[in-house]
Amino acid sequence: MYELMQVSAHDYYIQSPAKIGLVRLNDREVCLIDSGNDKDAGRRVKKLLDAEGWTLTAIYNTHSHADHIGGSRYLQGQTGCRVYAPGIECAFTRHPILEPAFLFGGYPAKDLRHKFLMAQESDAQELTAQALPDGFSIIPLPGHALDMVGFRTPEGTVYLADCLSSRETLDKYGIVFLYDVAAYLETLSMVKGLSANLFVPAHAPASEDIGDLAQYNIDKVLEIGERIVDLCGEPLCFEQLLGRLFSLYGLTMNFEQYVLVGSTVRSYLAWLKDEGRIRAEFSDNMLLWRR
């Protein structure tokens, strides 16, 4: 873990729970794509950089989930590097309390105010094309998060952030976190058509061909949608539906899973309602969902 993997003359990734991209800009300077999940990850990354004699100039965050920005504050404090994040993700990076509040739908209980859901804040600037090193390009990847992006390097490596889950993850957990189902499906369809020398997803193996895995992710999203529609054959309130989905997919309920899977299921309900496949109705002062 935290092993440096070289994939081209200047492009690398750091093998970690959420892969960290690294690009060597010249003989001494490097930039990172994401920073790991916490201060300890930041320390490990700094140790790797020091061992190579490299100076960190910037961190380009793909999105604001804690496992991708958790090391930024430490690294920024140690190196003075700039930190960038795209769109709304920049606000979440500067004010990490927004993440558990967003997931919970109100002020989050202490059970949710921890490093798994709430990274330490960093002094982030909004990501623009002008902030990127020469030859880099931004790839919009909405769906998993509000304004998530990936990056293409001059040497043809594409860092895909969290837009794909591995087959093993999908088979084990079934439901993975999504914010906007329609946007996510569009992102996956776009990714299927991309070409690159190497694709580096954060939570799946690096690969020269990502098309089959993208389709597997699409199929899983559509499967979950069908199962929700089937469960709504009778009117269900959200809590009833969530409980049945946890049982169906063999998930274990706790506070973190309640907000992560719960937020995702609400996104599925919004998508299915907008598609005209389910409807919402109010009965006895309860919101019910039905096919």
pTM for this one? Answer: 0.96
Domain boundary residue, one of 133, 154, 182:
133
| Structure confidence by residue, pLDDT tens digits, 210-252 | 999 999 999 999 999 999 999 999 999 999 999 999 999 999 9
Mean pLDDT, rounded, for 247-266 = 97
Domain boundary residue, one of 113, 133, 153:
133
Query: Rounded to whole angstroms, how far apart are CA atoms 205 and 149?
Result: 18
Let me know if residue 138 belongs to a domain.
no
Under the banding of pLDDT at 50, 70 and 90, the label for residue 289 is very high
Query: What's the number of domains the chain is made of?
Result: 2
One domain for residues 226 and 110: no
Let me know if residue 253 belongs to a domain.
yes
Residue 115 φ then ψ, to 5°: -65, -20
Let me know if residue 282 belongs to a domain.
yes
Whether the pLDDT of residue 1 is over 90: the answer is: no
Let me know if residue 148 belongs to a domain.
no
One domain for residues 185 and 117: no
One domain for residues 209 and 285: yes
Query: Rounded to whole angstroms, how far apart are CA atoms 23 and 109?
Result: 39
Query: Rounded to whole angstroms, how far apart are CA atoms 56 and 142?
Result: 28
Let me know if residue 111 belongs to a domain.
yes
| pLDDT of 281 | 97
Under the banding of pLDDT at 50, 70 and 90, the label for residue 63 is very high
Count of C-beta atoms within a 10 Å radius of residue 260: 18
Which stretches does DSSP call E strand in the chain? Answer: 3-6, 11-15, 20-24, 29-33, 55-60, 82-85, 124-126, 137-140, 149-152, 157-165, 198-203, 236-237, 279-283, 286-290
One domain for residues 111 and 187: no
Q: Can you give the CATH number for the domain in which 20 is found?
A: 3.60.15.10
Under the banding of pLDDT at 50, 70 and 90, the label for residue 29 is very high
One domain for residues 128 and 166: no
> 218: number of CA atoms within 13 Å, CB side?
15
Q: Give the range of the structural domain holding residue 272, as residue numbers without chain letter.
A: 162-291
One domain for residues 69 and 189: no
Let me know if residue 141 belongs to a domain.
no
One domain for residues 167 and 246: yes
